[in-house]
Structure 1
Amino acid sequence: MCTAVVYRNGKTYCGRNLDNSCSYGEEIVVMPRNFPLRFRHADEMKHHHAIVGTASVMKGVPLYYDAMNEEGVWAAGLNFVGNAIYSKASGASGEVAHFEFIPWILSQCSDIEQVRGLLKKLTIVDTPFDTDVPPAQLHWIVADRSGASITVESVVDGLRVYDNPAGVLTNNPPFPMQLSGLGRYMALSSKEPENLMAPRIPLSSSSYGTGAIGLPGDLSSESRFVRAVFVKENSAVTDPEEESIGQFFHILDSVAFPQGCCDLGNGLYEKTIYSSCCSLENGIYYYTTYENRQITAVDMSREDMENTQLARFAMERKQRIFFRN
């Protein structure tokens, strides 16, 4: 279970919660411009845009969960179990394995229009990464510095690309149903409600925040979608980078999984393994983990962008506490 958000506050910030019952050894991985990108069904790419994001590195290959490139394009893959349908590889041009989708897009594109152009020629195939790593059922959200975003879903009737005016994506149902579900909550407001029910009766609110009564508070994908949109659309901070980054993590906190609240059985609990915030203008990848709430950053520009080797940074998982006395 996951939630991804695109937030614009003068600049554009993108990121996600990765919700799962366990970690898979995620790292922050910088892929420089000359790292050889070898695709299963496409030509090797020896030179490309540099990329930074969270990935599990297997056999020297970064399997990105979410990432951005140096041009300010960001992408994230979220579980889409039961609805993701990939094609069988046929040898035709334009075939990309599902685990290659993020580097395929980010290595080549400088804005969302270039992404759309690539997608017109793309077929996502079910080639597994390895014999013991079955295909993950995913859909994706992609955004650029302008704040424009799209959702990409490979379903039973082919590849579908949707404008995403909400700038939010969760898991199921398919994106058109997520978006249409917002219509049930149009009356919600960050302001105090007006007495429309019985104007003759002197009614008053018992508390601040009653304009949001009806906002779903459960952890389901549909409810998290609505809640993330409400919190994001009503966020109010000034322009400094630090405030916007802090606000972004507050948005993600509103849809996070505290351990124990989603019991999977056998002692397993869904929890927010990590949360990320990508500053698309500055090329800095910020994150927190479940164990460590301090924001940690990796600045891709501080690495040798012309290198041929990955730069890998283990996630900070030990809680850091600042004592004032």
Structure 2
Amino acid sequence: MTRHALIAILLTLADCCQEIRVKSLDGGVVVGRSMEFSLPLNSHLVSEPAGTVHQAPLPPNCHGNPVTFTNRFKTISNWNVFAGKWANSLADGVNEAGVSVSILWFKGYEEYLDPTDITGAACDSAIPHTKIGAYILAKYENVEQVKEDLESGKFPAIWGGTDLNMVPPIHFNIIDKTGAGLVLEHTKGEGVKWYDNTVGVLTNSPPYPWHMTNLRSYPHFQRNDKGREGFQYSSLGDTYTLSQQWTGSGLLGLPGDYTSPSRFIKAATLLSLAPKPATTDEAIVQVFHHMNAADIPYGIVETGPENRVSLTSWILVKDLGRGCVYYRAYTDLSVKRLCLHNLPDVRSAVRIEGNFDGGFRDTSGELQEIDNILLDKHTEL
């Protein structure tokens, strides 16, 4: 594949990323994020120690030393590889202060500063939007600090950086270990906007306020079945009752397609109806199941002029309080984990996708004669 062909494909990718937040009764905050793409992703989780230095490229009209920033915290972040080169922007990450940042596709609504407009003193603090994720993980302990810098003008000026000679259309979801959330968007005609993420969900286009307005159209879903007494009617003086035949009628009409608005509604509804988990471990399990409800199997969705199929390449589940990232990929279905406190103090990486055989554990050696099994053993939910 040529570089130009790859850029053309990237511009028409299915925008199907999703992120959700769950807070457990013991105070744990767990964030789940999926990556849907119509190209094979060579994705890695990259660990960086505190003290790692990042360098931003210089805008064309700036001279002198480029802007640099240094990690205050150890981090785990996700980086993709295209055409044998690391992407210029991380896709997701968490730092040891308990801050998570995710970058989701935002096609059709994005607009960033033109890099040629950055001159003079502005050169000393401006960074490309492809570096925002790394900057947030490097500098901030919580969402409130990000908001304070945005409101006071201390947050860097953001210009449209390139990745594979294109300006990726992206917006940002920032969550900390208290559960506070912030959506950061750069939109046409609006400039820089940020919003409290009160519902704990983010998908893709349109902008976050539009999704929240759309959510008002779906107030009627409920956990319990509707019409438990069945359908009753009268005919020729006799009364008849037709019992309902299926469970789940409380969610009749719930959007189930893969468009960004429908995925936002479905995720927000499921989160609102699900019982709050008692422990952080239970929250991790719940988030994986919520993310499975949005999974795109290979071949279901086609996108772009070449009709490339989209799929859920991987799912990350981040435990912000304990600094652990759980992950599974498309072919290797096993859940794996990286925790910040176990990472070496050198920059290192592990590939997310494994092989099919590595995703299973053979239990033939655990079989017991049937009479030795205690039939009253079970797992309570």
- Normalised by the length of structure 1, the TM-score is 0.90
Give, in whole Å, the separation in 2 of the partners of 1:25 and 1:48.
Answer: 28
Shift in Å, 1:64: 1.3
| SS in structure 2 of the partner of residue 185 of structure 1 | coil
User: 2:102 — aligned with what?
Assistant: 76
Letter in 2 for 1:126: G
Which residue, 322, 342, 347 being the options, matches 1:282? 322
Note the alpha carbon deviations across 1:158-180, whole angstroms, 9 max, x for none: 10001111111111111111111
User: 1:154 — aligned with what?
Assistant: 186
Shift in Å, 1:217: 1.1
- The alpha-carbon distance between structure 1 residues 199 and 49, as it changes in their structure 2 partners (threshold 3 A), is farther
User: 1:135 — aligned with what?
Assistant: 167
| SS in structure 1 of the partner of residue 172 of structure 2 | strand
Give, in whole Å, the separation in 2 of the partners of 1:148 and 1:137.
Answer: 24
Q: Which moved more, 1:15-24 or 1:161-170?
A: 15-24
1:139 and 1:154 in contact (8 A); partners too: yes
Aligned length in residues: 320
User: 1:248 — aligned with what?
Assistant: 287
| SS in structure 1 of the partner of residue 216 of structure 2 | helix
2:228 and 2:244 in contact (8 A); partners too: no
Identity rate, percent: 23
1:6 and 1:15 in contact (8 A); partners too: yes
1:170-319 → structure 2 map (5 Å cutoff): 170-193=203-226, 204-236=243-275, 238-264=277-303, 266=306, 268-304=308-344, 307=345, 309-319=346-356
Q: Which 5+ residue runs of structure 1 have no aligned equivalent?
A: none
Q: Indicate the structure (1 or 2) with the bigger Cα radius of gyration.
A: 2
Give, in whole Å, the separation in 1 of the partners of 2:87 and 2:249.
Answer: 49
1:29 and 1:62 in contact (8 A); partners too: no
- The alpha-carbon distance between structure 1 residues 321 and 183, as it changes in their structure 2 partners (threshold 3 A), is same
Note the alpha carbon deviations across 1:10-34, whole angstroms, 9 max, x for none: 3101121100012332101111101
Instruction: Check if 1:164 corresponds to 2:164.
Output: no
| SS in structure 2 of the partner of residue 270 of structure 1 | strand
Which residue, 151, 154, 158 being the options, matches 1:124? 158
Q: Which 5+ residue runs of structure 2 have no aligned equivalent?
A: 1-15, 59-65, 235-240, 365-381
- The alpha-carbon distance between structure 1 residues 59 and 219, as it changes in their structure 2 partners (threshold 3 A), is closer
Shift in Å, 1:8: 1.1
Instruction: Check if 1:39 corresponds to 2:56.
Output: yes
Give, in whole Å, the separation in 2 of the partners of 1:195 and 1:294.
Answer: 39
Give, in whole Å, the separation in 1 of the partners of 2:263 and 2:87.
Answer: 32
Q: Superposition RMSD on alpha carbons, in Å?
A: 2.5
| SS in structure 1 of the partner of residue 285 of structure 2 | helix
Shift in Å, 1:213: 0.3
- Normalised by the length of structure 2, the TM-score is 0.78
Note the alpha carbon deviations across 1:95-116, whole angstroms, 9 max, x for none: 2211101111111111110011
2:80 and 2:86 in contact (8 A); partners too: no
Q: Which has the higher helix share?
A: 2
Letter in 1 for 2:23: R
Note the alpha carbon deviations across 1:25-79, whole angstroms, 9 max, x for none: 2101111101112123563224522211211368778731011111111110110
Which residue, 112, 119, 123 being the options, matches 2:143? 112
Give, in whole Å, the separation in 2 of the partners of 1:248 and 1:318.
Answer: 24
- The alpha-carbon distance between structure 1 residues 94 and 204, as it changes in their structure 2 partners (threshold 3 A), is farther
